Amino acid sequence: MINRTRIRDALKATEPMESVTVMGWVRTRRDAKDFSFVDLNDGSCLSGLQVILPGDLPDYDRWIGEITTGASLQVQGHLVASQGKGQRWELQASAVQLMGRSDASYPLQKKRHSPEFMREMAHLRPRSNLFGSVFRVRSRLAQAVHRFFSERDFFYIHTPIITASDCEGAGELFRVTTLDPSRGGDPTKDFFGKPSYLTVSGQLAAETFACALSNVYTFGPTFRAENSNTSRHASEFWMIEPEMAFCDLGGDMDLAEAFVKYLIQDTLDQSAEEMAFFDAFVDKGLLERLRWILERPFERVAYTQAVDILLQSGQRFEYPVQHGLNLQSEHERFLTESHFKGPITVYDYPKAIKPFYMRANDDGQTVAAMDVLVPGIGEIVGGSQREERLEVLESQLRAHDLSLEDYSWYLDLRRYGSVPHSGFGMGFERMLMFLTGVTNIRDVIPFARTPGHASF
RNA sequence: UCCAGAGUAGCUCAAUGGUAGAGCAAUCGGCUGUUAACCGAUCGGUUGUUGGUUCGAGUCCAACCUCUGGAGCCA
């Protein structure tokens, strides 16, 4: 295949280039008197390259009509300074090859489309400015996650996607089976000899590795069979879960906050063009908000303080504010959007509303849990110090009606050389929403899976 | 799953219970170093589905489907 120049590189040129070959998809064509302008995009960056197709190219009149929106082209030519305004470089074509036609039924138009409409054609939407940008940023964000942990000497652990432990009761699980549903379902005859599921969290597995390699993280797909129909829940999503031995809740919060800031900074640095686009067309004020967050420390509020703030706010809430009750979305909203006007970390939650594995505090009422809440999205990080005391953990399992036998391997970590350890989970897509200003999780996942939807 | 709102041309939206329209897109033509180009023309409809009320339903009623916003569960 011909050595092609990516449009991103062509646009970064510092001087004219002889004989450049680019390939991409036509966004628009505008005909001038003796030539045509083509806006060609190859996805390497948000901007397209302006291509000039001179009218004296062989058989121009025969093929120019086929250079339509959506068509794929190979163009050879000279990269020269643009005579027009709006772009620095343009490609004066000397040869054009139509690779793939695109007829009038091509659904993407030059004008702006609603995200809802674009969702109906998830296979074509990455060719749009918005979704192309979202998925370029998504890729860079994933790389940044690995870089952050790599720089801090964390080991990346591939925890299993199929699991036999219905761990921590974190939502409904998808059953994995090879049994014929019409012939009954004896789990002992199933593929793994017992009921198995898609993972809802890699945490427990990560804990075992933290209690050996010290600092580890997982980053992979996670599945919840909840019938959630909201803009921030998906049945299949990606989660990042670091786990640190010899680390208490304070260290956990330090890491979570540093992580959020790192990802913001990295995205601003590496995706400047896309971020400017989001700021202009998706969420005005996005850049200002993110920069402001970078500059200041996260506010840390104990759960009881947070409740006091809500009680004293004079604000009317639909749901009651009361010590011991979970914070509702509207409460989190008030705290992040109205009171603190930025991300906050709420810690030391009531024991009764948190899972069994969180470390009991000395007050007997609370556990060493923490949530990082951000404006617009709510919970973006949830974590805790883990209960490392064997007897306490056993009594917690019993209190939650969980089988000690099923968790024997988990209890072994406390039986043999137990250490204080902590970790958290971050929803990758929620972070991406926070960074791009895109308000629906379905628009930051290439092919979203939600209740009733597994198309494409 | 619950509450609310919305489904009309390819898209975004109009239309007192009385002849279904505009802008954009597409197609054709014109003009032009254009860039969400511009100007003119053409094309474009089982008004989400089914049933009901009515002389007459896009409009009113019922059920269902889909989407959106909010809630719960959470990341």
Query: What integer is the mean pLDDT of A280-298?
Result: 89
Nucleotide showing the shortest C1' distance to residue A231 CA: B69
Q: Is residue A320 part of a domain?
A: yes
Block residue for tokens 């202009």:
A280
Is strand B in 7 Å reach of the CB of A171?
Answer: yes
pLDDT value of position A170: 57
Q: Which of residues 331-360 of A touch strand B (CB under 7 A)?
A: 333
Whichever domain contains A55, its CATH number is 2.40.50.140
**Same domain, yes or no: A171 and A96:** no
Nucleotide showing the shortest C1' distance to residue A228 CA: B73
Assess whether pLDDT exceeds 70 at residue A351. Answer: yes
pLDDT of residue A267: 97
Are A331 and A258 within one domain? yes
Q: Closest nucleotide to A330's CA, by C1' atom?
A: B71
Q: Are residues A129 and A200 in the same domain?
A: yes
Amino acid A193 CA to nucleotide B60 C1' distance, rounded Å: 60
Same domain for A148 and A75: no
Q: What is the largest CA-CA distance in chain A?
A: 85
A164 and A51 co-located in one domain: no
- A231 with A377, same domain: the answer is yes
pLDDT at residue A165 in the model: 72
Predicted local confidence at residue A222, as pLDDT: 94
Q: From residues 172-211 of A, which are strand B contacts by CB within 7 A?
A: 201
pLDDT for A436 equals 95
Residue A120 covered by a domain: no
Give me the CA A58–C1' B27 separation in Å, rounded: 25
In a domain? residue A367: yes
Is A133 found in the same domain as A272?
yes
Using C1' positions and the CA of A376, the closest nucleotide is B70
pLDDT score at A415: 96
- Which of A34, A67, A100 is the C-terminal boundary of a domain? A100
CA of A92: nearest nucleotide by C1' is B33
Nearest partner of A355 among A339, A371, A333, judged by Cα: A371
Same domain, A129 and A90: no
Q: How far is the CA of A448 from the C1' of B52 (A)?
A: 39
Last residue within a domain, chosen from A100, A117, A145: A100
Nucleotides of B under 7 A from a protein CB: 1-2, 10-13, 24-28, 31-37, 66-75
Digit-coded pLDDT (tens) for A26-39:
999 998 888 999 99
Tally the C-alpha atoms within 13 A of residue A354's C-alpha that lie toward its C-beta.
26
One-letter-per-residue 3-state SS of chain A: CCCCCCHHHHHCCCCCEEEEEEEEEEEEEEECCCEEEEEEECCCCCCCEEEEEECCCCCHHHHHHHCCCCCEEEEEEEEEECCCCCCCEEEEEEEEEEEECCCCCCCCCCCCCCHHHHHCCCCCHHHCHHHHHHHHHHHHHHHHHHHHHHHCCCEECCCCCEECCCHHHCCCCCEECCCCHHHCCCHHHCCCCCCEEECCCCHHHHHHHHHHHCEEEEEEEEECCCCCCCCCCCCEEEEEEEEEECCCHHHHHHHHHHHHHHHHHHHHHHCHHHHHHHHHHCCCCHHHHHHHHHHCCCEEEEHHHHHHHHHHCCCCCCCCCCCCCCCCHHHHHHHHHHHCCCCEEEEEEEHHHCCCCECECCCCCEEEEEEEEECCCEEEEEEEEECCCHHHHHHHHHHCCCCCCCCHHHHHHHHCCCCCEEEEEEEHHHHHHHHHCCCCHHHCCCCCCECCECCC
Query: pLDDT tens across A208-255, in order?
Result: 999 999 999 999 999 999 888 899 999 999 999 999 999 999 999 999
Query: Do A150 and A79 sit in the same domain of this protein?
Result: no
> In this structure, is residue A407 part of a structural domain?
yes
pLDDT at residue number A167: 56
Domain count across chain A: 2
Specify if A113 maps to a domain: no
A300 and A400 belong to one structural domain? yes
CA/C1' separation A117–B65 (Å): 18
Cβ pair A167, A159 in contact under 8 A: no
Average pLDDT over residues A131-149: 97
Is any atom of nucleic acid chain B found less than 7 Å from the CB of residue A109?
A: yes
d(CA A432, CA A15): 36
Name the nt closest to A372 by C-alpha to C1'.
B75
Query: Is the CB of A30 less than 7 A from some atom of nucleic acid strand B?
Result: yes
Q: Which nucleotide is nearest to A224 (CA to C1')?
A: B74
Q: Tell whether A286 and A402 lie within a shared domain.
A: yes
Provide φ and ψ at A156, rounded to 5°: -90, 120
Distance A39 CA to B8 C1' (A): 34
Distance CA A245, CA A369 (A): 16
- Tens of pLDDT, residue by residue over A337-346, are 889 888 999 9
* Whether residue A400 has pLDDT greater than 70: yes
Domain around A67: 7-100
In a domain, A112, yes or no: no
CB atoms within 10 A of CB A316: 6
Residue A117 CA, nucleotide B57 C1', distance (Å): 29
Tell me the CATH number at A343.
Answer: 3.30.930.10
Residues 76-95/A with CB < 7 A to strand B: 82-87, 90, 92
At residue A314, the pLDDT reads 83
